[in-house]
Amino acid sequence: MAFLNAGDTINGKTARAYITVNGVVEELFYAKTLEATVEKNKSDVPILGKRQVAHKASGWTGSGTLTIYYMTSFFRSLMMKYITDGIDTYFDLHVTNEDPASTVGSQTVVLKQCNMDSVIMAKFDISSDDALEEEVAFTFDDVEVSTAFNNPTV
């Protein structure tokens, strides 16, 4: 019987993230959390003689959120290009999880053709002692797992 080695779990603080816009790469050192999800789109398939409705995968949708410390105008400037000039910006997000204390190695995922849904344009909070944060919601049109964890059970 196999057991999980607690030392092989991945510490999220050791991740690295980069954004590529128009060939320019910027490290997201101000990122706090990122979560990207792929959701399958399914069609209902009624079947003669059965009461339940079956389902068939018919595509997928990628979406995510990036929580960052409120200390960069980078995303606001991309949104301003759209507001003032009608130029929408697409970008790639590269995320690498690698914990040197783990034996599972690293994983790098590239979220391609990302496009922002919303950006906070201005913010303050006088009732908090915490650093200001903002959440950037986005969609993506393609994804690549360029490096996978060393997981012999998969």
Tens-level pLDDT at each residue, the chain (154 residues): 888 889 999 999 999 999 999 999 999 999 999 999 999 999 999 999 999 999 999 999 999 999 999 999 999 999 999 999 999 999 999 999 999 999 999 999 999 999 999 999 999 999 999 999 999 999 999 999 999 999 755 4
Cα–Cα distance for residue pair 2/54, rounded to 1 Å: 35
Q: Does residue 152 belong to any structural domain of this protein? A: no
Q: Does residue 153 belong to any structural domain of this protein? A: no
Q: Does residue 6 belong to any structural domain of this protein? A: no
Q: Does residue 138 belong to any structural domain of this protein? A: yes
Residue 153's pLDDT is what?
55
Q: Does residue 2 belong to any structural domain of this protein? A: no
Q: Does residue 127 belong to any structural domain of this protein? A: yes
pTM: 0.90
Residue 152's pLDDT is what?
57
Q: Does residue 154 belong to any structural domain of this protein? A: no
**Strand (E) or helix (H) holding 74:** helix 74-85
Q: Does residue 21 belong to any structural domain of this protein? A: yes
Q: Which of 3, 9, 31 is nearest to 99 (CA)?
A: 9
Task: Tell me the CATH number at 34.
Answer: 2.30.110.40
Residue 22's pLDDT is what?
93
Number of domains in the chain: 1
Rounded to 5 degrees, φ, ψ at 15 are -70, 160
- Full residue range of the structural domain in which residue 52 is found: 11-147
